[in-house]
Amino acid sequence: YLGGSNAETGAGIAVDSANSAYVTGFTNSPDFPVFGGAFQSNYGGGNTDAFVSKLDAGATALVYSSYLGGSNAEEGKGIAVDVNANAYVAGQTCSLDFPTARPLQPAEAGNCDAFVAKVLVGPDISLSHSTLTFPAQSVGSVSPPQTITVSSSGDAPLVISDITTTGDFSQTNACVGVTLAVGDTCTIDVVFSPTAPGTRTGTLTITDNTPTSPHVVNLSGTTSVPAVSLSSNSLSFGSVPVGATSQPQTVTLTNTGTATLNVASIAISSEFSETDSCGAIVATGVSCTISVTFTPTAGGTRSGTLTITDDAAGSPRVVSLTGDGSGFTLSATPASAVIAAGQSAIYTVSVIPTSGFNKEVTLSCAGAPREATCTASPTSVTPDGTNPATATVTVTSRKRTMFFPWSVPHDPPPANAWRWTPWFLALAMLAFLAATRSRRLKARLTLTMAMLALLIWTSCGGGGTTVGVPSGTPAGNFTLTFTGTSGGGSQQTTVDLTVE
């Protein structure tokens, strides 16, 4: 068969010396088979077009096949072939735009005219692809090659003089400078190496000795680029006690692109911290997690950002962070107190919650004077998130007293040196008193001997230093510091204390 989807009529046939058949006739099929560098590859229009086809010696394949006609009706009536395999076609045309080359009569004279056309023998080219489309490729990389097969499909040898490419495409070939006999083939390998993101286009141009040279193959390819998807663009941590650390919240980063994602940095604002599994490179289709915690340093609403810098479009990408620092403040009354040594001062400390704070607060006191104590009762309180919790802080002083000085010996004498001296003096005094008759004299002598014995007793150390030690809470003005601690945060307040 030789035809398309509508009607065809064969009107003439010729055979050359190689037993190749040449056929002409007419067709009204828009899909009549055209082949081998057809000089008219599209249906011209009107009721019919003439056609010219050459079949190989076995009538198993077309060597060439082409429409021949204008916008009105044409019919091929007869065909002949010369010794050089040039075909001559005669027929009828009713088209004002019938294709002509070097015409004897350049225009139609009546409603329909006869035509004579010569189909020249010569080289022709067939390409396995008229376009090449490359899959996504990362910038700077080189794709695997795609191959175009070139066939010499004419009646004469094909000679390719040049092959060039444009755009982000390059080629290697075994065709240039080679004479391809009829039926021979060669190949061209084309690769794609994108220099920028997006869709890239170019052309492959083949220059040869065919009448229709040059031949262009359109080339296109897309750039593979990373793309980032985040599971959330904001995180809210709610109420967290000042100084405490929240439970972590997670942002999942996914590379949804077609190239490796390079992560330059992940930064976060103060009061927030992050750990992540992303590393410097995230492969295509892979996800990593960023875990964020919140540690408020003050009460009230706190805000920050998580900033991810990478090489995908939309970088840097920012995740907003918010949270409330639920804390407390301290106050104490009275602001000052005056006591005498030995008395106590009592203060009331209030733990006032902010932002719903309801955690335990441990109380402590510092700055009490010497020989005074400062204690809180209870030592810890827990506000209910709305109302203050109170504790009593008592400062107890010690009454001042007087001490007689004492001697601190430097170098004590030998243990036995003065041990018996007071006893000898006592015996001597008793003997003397026994011999004395006057009562007044006895009393005076007794007092004198007692004092002498005391002096000898205390001075037997061979000399010493007299030391005075104060006792009780000293007088003065003092500043007391009350501290409340909860988790990692603390608050302070001060009061004054005067001891008279």
At CA 259, angle to CA 253 and CA 260, rounded to 5? 55
Instruction: Report, as an integer, the average pLDDT of 107-132.
Output: 89
Distances (CA, A) of 369 to 227, 492, 496: 67, 19, 11
More confident residue, 488 or 415: 488
354, 488: one domain? yes
Pairing of strands 215-224, 131-138: parallel
| φ, ψ dihedrals at 108, nearest 5° | -70, 140
CATH for 185:
2.60.40.10
How many structural domains comprise the chain?
5
133, 52: one domain? no
Q: Which helix (H) or strand (E) holds 121?
A: none
288, 353: one domain? no
202, 215: one domain? yes
111, 152: one domain? no
Pick the last residue of a domain from 195, 224, 253.
Answer: 224
Q: Is 3 domain-assigned?
A: no
* Positive/negative CA dihedral, 137, 142, 147, 150: positive
Neighbour-count burial for 362-383, b at 16+ CB within 10 Å, e otherwise: ebbbeebbebbebebeeebbeb
216, 242: one domain? no
Bridge partners, residue 249, by sequence: 292
371, 494: one domain? yes
Q: Is 219 domain-assigned?
A: yes
Q: What percentage of the chain exceeds 70 in pLDDT?
A: 85
Q: How far apart are CA 218 and CA 200, in angstroms?
A: 11
Q: Is 268 domain-assigned?
A: yes
* Residue whose structure tokens are 């008229």: 130
350, 491: one domain? yes
Could you tell me the two tokens for 2? 């030789």
pLDDT at 441 (0 to 100): 55
Domain span at 201: 125-224
User: What three-state secondary structure class fits 184?
Assistant: coil
Q: How far apart are CA 396 and CA 393, in angstroms?
A: 10
pLDDT at 37 (0 to 100): 63
Q: What percentage of the chain exceeds 90 in pLDDT?
A: 64
- pLDDT reading at 311 higher than 60: yes
More confident residue, 452 or 115: 115
20, 143: one domain? no
Q: Is 386 domain-assigned?
A: yes
Pick the last residue of a domain from 202, 224, 246.
Answer: 224
The pTM for the full model equals 0.47
- pLDDT reading at 458 higher than 60: no
Distances (CA, A) of 37 to 13, 153, 326: 21, 8, 83
394, 342: one domain? yes
Select from 383, 380, 387, 397 the least CA-distant residue to 482.
Answer: 380
342, 485: one domain? yes
| φ, ψ dihedrals at 82, nearest 5° | -95, -175
DSSP state of 334: S
Q: Are 94 and 74 in contact (CB under 8 A)?
A: yes
Q: Are 347 and 395 in contact (CB under 8 A)?
A: yes
Instruction: Report, as an integer, the average pLDDT of 147-172.
Output: 94
Q: Is 133 domain-assigned?
A: yes
> Omega into 409 within 30° of 0, i.e. cis?
no
Bridge partners, residue 229, by sequence: 254
Q: Is 1 domain-assigned?
A: no
Q: Is 204 domain-assigned?
A: yes
* Positive/negative CA dihedral, 170, 174, 176, 177: positive
Q: Is 200 domain-assigned?
A: yes
Q: In this predicted structure, which of 149-158, 194-203, 363-372, 402-411 has the lowest mean pLDDT? A: 402-411
142, 216: one domain? yes
Q: How far apart are CA 282 and CA 263, in angstroms?
A: 7
- pLDDT reading at 158 higher than 50: yes
- Give the highest mean pLDDT range of 60-69, 122-131, 388-397: 388-397
Pick the last residue of a domain from 173, 193, 224.
Answer: 224
Instruction: Report, as an integer, the average pLDDT of 396-422.
Output: 61
